[in-house]
Amino acid sequence: MKRIFIKYILGIAFIGFLSINANAQSVTKFDRGLFGEDSEFAIGVHTGIFDSNQSVLFPFNVGVLAQYNYIPDVSRKFYMGAESGLFFTRSKADKLGRTTNLVFGDITVYSGFSFPIKANTGSDDKYTEKVKKRVAAPKIRISPGFVVIFPIYKRSGGSGVNNESIKTSIGFALRMSYHLRSRISIFANISRINRDLDGYAYKGEDTNERSNGNKHDVTYIFKTGVMWKLFK
């Protein structure tokens, strides 16, 4: 457990180092009036639903995250990035007395496209001016990626719960965000993990008993929240 926690802290530190290094040591070509690369570092908070595959009321989640984005060419729509977070999820007891009480860390690596809106470019604008307006305009971003999630604290309990089955797992993620003209952005994520991460096992082989547990060995996690860009 301690090793996993240390790896998580090192992951966040690495993302932070990349961002600070990119912003402190170099001035992008775009800042000098030419087209070139850019980078962003942001932190945020979120809430949502954990494990929508349950037969009970969905547990909520609440957490924090740090994000780094790299834009190879500001005149293009493509970008890539990484995100590291920590969240807590909990639910009340269901009809079998099972409860969810867990803390997870997760790291997501993704790439996607950014679509400027309301750039207000005019037909008389030069190409350089149009690019500058698109960079400054609000944006909608869509990015698929891969996520690794690992447990830090496991206290699910009740009839048939097996905390040993809650292990480090991988899956797919889809990120969607709306970036305002200021430093603020609003986001929504969905992740599909290839393991049942609440520990709720089937109590028996009887069909009625089995319906009390998760029907598939998979976990869905929904997040929605707000982020604040530290470097602008």
The average pLDDT across 222-230 equals 94
Q: Which tokens go with 125?
A: 């604008």
Q: Which residues contact 32 (CB under 8 A, 6 or more apart)?
A: none
User: Phi and psi for 75 in degrees, rounded to 5?
Assistant: -85, -5
The alpha carbon of residue 123 and the mean position of all alpha carbons in its chain are separated, in whole angstroms, by: 38
3-class SS letters over 67-110: EEEEECCCCCCEEEEEEEEEEEEEECCCCCCCEEEEEEEEEEEE
The reported pLDDT for the residue numbered 178 is 94
Residue 79 banded pLDDT, cuts 50, 70, 90: very high
Residue 15 banded pLDDT, cuts 50, 70, 90: low
Look over the chain and give the mean of its residue pLDDT values, rounded to a whole number.
79
User: Phi and psi for 194 in degrees, rounded to 5?
Assistant: -85, 35
- Give the highest mean pLDDT range of 16-20, 51-55, 89-93: 89-93
Q: Which tokens go with 219?
A: 């976990």
What pLDDT, in 10s, does the model give residues 176-196?
A: 999 988 889 999 999 999 888
2-229: CATH class: mainly beta
What pLDDT, in 10s, does the model give residues 110-145?
A: 999 998 887 776 666 676 777 777 777 889 999 999
